[in-house]
Amino acid sequence: MEEKEKDKKIQDFGQVVLENNKKHGKIHLMTIIGEIEGHDVLPASSKSTKYEHILPQLASIEDNEEIDGVLFLMNTVGGDVSAGLALAEMIASMSKPTVSLVLGDSHSIGVPLAVSTDYSFIAPTATMIIHPVRMNGTIIGAPQTFDYFKMIQDRIVRFISSHSKVSEDELEKMMMNTGILTKDLGTILVGQEAVDKGLVNGVGGIKEAFAKMQELMNEKEKNMTENIADKEMSECKLCPRNCKKNRKNKEKGYCLMTDELCVARAALHMWEEPCISGEEGSGAVFFSGCTLRCVFCQNRNIAAAQTGKIISIDRLADIFLELQEKGANNINLVTPTHFVVQIAQAIKKARRNGLIIPIVYNTGSYENIETLKLLDGLIDIYLPDMKYMDSSLSLKYSNAKDYFDVASKALDEMFRQVGKPVFDKRGIMKRGMIVRHLILPGMTYDSKNVIKYLYETFKDDIYISIMNQYTPLKQVEKYPEINRKVTDKEYDEVVDYAIELGVVNGFIQEGETASESFIPEFDCEGV
Residue 374 burial class via C-beta count within 10 angstroms: exposed 0-12, middle 13-18, buried 19 and up? middle
Whether 108 is catalytic = yes
**Given the residues 131, 269, 338, 437, the one annotated as active site:** 131
Strands 422-423 and 429-438: antiparallel
- Selection from 107, 36, 108, 21 nearest residue 71 by Cα: 21
How many C-beta neighbours within 10 Å does residue 221 have?
Answer: 18
Contact 294, 387 (CB under 8 A): yes
| Three-state SS at 287 | strand
Distance CA 304, CA 316 (A): 21
Contact 340, 371 (CB under 8 A): yes
**Given the residues 48, 100, 108, 398, the one annotated as active site:** 108
- Those residues whose C-beta lies under 8 Å from the C-beta of residue 71, and which sit 6 or more positions away, are 18, 27, 28, 29, 30, 98, 99, 100, 101, 209, 210, 213
Helices (H), 163-268: 168-175, 192-196, 206-234
How many C-beta neighbours within 10 Å does residue 507 have?
Answer: 16
Question: Rounded to the nearest 10 degrees, what angle do helices 488-501 and 444-458 cross at?
Answer: 20
User: CA angle 26-29-35, nearest 5°?
Assistant: 165
Residues serving a catalytic function are 108, 131
